[in-house]
Amino acid sequence: MTTTATDRRTFPGLSPTAFEHPIDRGALDALRRTPGLDILLKKLSSLGFERVVRLQLTADSLRLSPKQLGRIHGLMMEGCEVLDMKPPELYLYQSPIVDAQALGMDRFTIGLSSGLIDLLNEDQLRWAIARELGHIKSGHMLYRTMAKYLAVVGLISMRNLPIVNLLSQALLYAFYDWLRKSELTADRAASLVAQDSTVGVSALLKLAGGTVKEADPLNVEEFLKQADDYEDMDESLLNVLYKFEMTKFRTHPFPAMRAREVMRWHDSGAYRQILQGNYARMNDHTGVRNCSECGASVENASFRYCPECGRPVGE
Per-residue pLDDT of 221-242, as tens digits, reads 888 898 888 887 877 777 778 8
Chain mean pLDDT for the chain: 82
Residue 134 belongs to a domain: yes
Sequence-ordered list of residues with C-beta below 8 angstroms from that of 58, at least 6 positions apart, any chain: none
Strand partners, 198: none
Same domain, 268 and 298: no
Strands 89-93 and 100-103 come out as unpaired
> Residue 33 has what pLDDT?
73
pLDDT at 216 over 80: no
pLDDT at 155 over 60: no
Strand partners, 111: 91, 101
> Residue 277 has what pLDDT?
94
CA distance 218 to 175: 34
Same domain, 313 and 178: no
> Residue 156 has what pLDDT?
47
CA distance 315 to 290: 10
pLDDT at 213 over 50: yes
A 10 A CB-CB count for 122 gives: 13
From the list 2, 268, 253, 20, the residue with the least C-alpha distance to 127 is 2
CA distance 129 to 111: 9
CA distance 168 to 150: 14
Which one from 20, 89, 132, 299 is the annotated catalytic residue? 132
Residue 201 belongs to a domain: yes
CA distance 64 to 301: 33
Residue 14, CA distances (Å) to 137, 284, 313 in order: 9, 10, 22
**Between 5 and 190, the higher pLDDT residue:** 190
Same domain, 199 and 298: no
Share of the chain above pLDDT 90, in %: 45
Same domain, 127 and 265: yes
Do you know the residue count of the chain? 315
Single-letter amino acid code for the residue at 147: A
Sequence-ordered list of residues with C-beta below 8 angstroms from that of 246, at least 6 positions apart, any chain: none
Using an 8 Å Cβ cutoff, are 13 and 283 in contact? yes
pLDDT at 80 over 90: yes
Residue 124, CA distances (Å) to 80, 119, 248, 281 in order: 16, 9, 28, 27
Residue 5 belongs to a domain: no
Using an 8 Å Cβ cutoff, are 243 and 229 in contact? no
Query: Tens of pLDDT along 1-22?
Result: 456 666 889 999 999 999 999 9
Strands 289-290 and 297-298 come out as antiparallel
DSSP for 109-135, please give it.
EEEEEHHHHHHS-HHHHHHHHHHHHHH
Active site residue 132: yes
Q: For the chain, how many structural domains are there in total?
A: 2
Residue 7 belongs to a domain: no
Q: 273: which DSSP letter?
A: H
CA distance 97 to 44: 26
pLDDT at 124 over 50: yes
Same domain, 44 and 91: yes
Using an 8 Å Cβ cutoff, are 124 and 202 in contact? yes
Residue 262 belongs to a domain: yes
Same domain, 190 and 307: no
Domain span at residue 257 reads 16-284
Same domain, 165 and 310: no
Same domain, 296 and 272: no
